Amino acid sequence: MIFTNKKTSMLVPVEGSDKKATPMYIDLALQALFTAPLQGGFTDREQRERLPIIAVLERLTEGEEAKLPEAAWNKLKSLINQDTIWPLMHSDITTFTDYIQANGDSADTKAE
């Protein structure tokens, strides 16, 4: 299934600077992947599941696409859902969540 790195319209502060940045879908996906579960940390299994997805996504630039295996989409869908806690509020967050949920459905996307 295809992950497309789209630009958002958000402006978020850049740590240690007075500048603001516009995150892309990759940034939102990576934030979800890098956030530890509420139980306090990552198990070895969690790291083994997340690190290959992170490796693929970190290489994307704006507008690029990457083919992700169904297991990776399912992991993203489980991490990015309506119960995800985000450190900011913006309509692009809900759009991104809807994008992840919809594209993980094989009927709505290009399957591998």
Backbone angles phi, psi at 60, to 5 degrees: -80, 140
- Largest interatomic CA distance in the chain: 44
- What is the full per-residue pLDDT of the chain (112 aa) written as tens digits? 889 999 999 998 888 888 998 999 999 999 999 988 777 789 999 899 999 999 999 988 888 898 988 889 999 998 888 778 888 889 999 999 999 998 755 434 343 3
Give the pLDDT of residue 35.
Answer: 87
8-state DSSP, 42: -
Rounded to 5 degrees, what angle do the CA atoms 100, 103, 109 make? 165
Provide φ and ψ at 39, rounded to 5°: -65, -10
Which pair of tokens denotes residue 103? 């594209």
Q: What is the per-residue pLDDT for 56?
A: 92
Q: At what angle do helices 25-34 and 91-103 cross, to 10 degrees?
A: 80
Strand stretches in the chain, DSSP E = 2-4, 12-13, 20-21, 65-67
pLDDT the model gives residue 83: 78
pLDDT score of 48: 93
The HSE-up count of residue 69 (CA atoms within 13 Å, CB side) is 7
Q: What pLDDT sits at residue 88?
A: 81
pLDDT of residue 96: 92
The predicted pLDDT at position 106 comes to 45
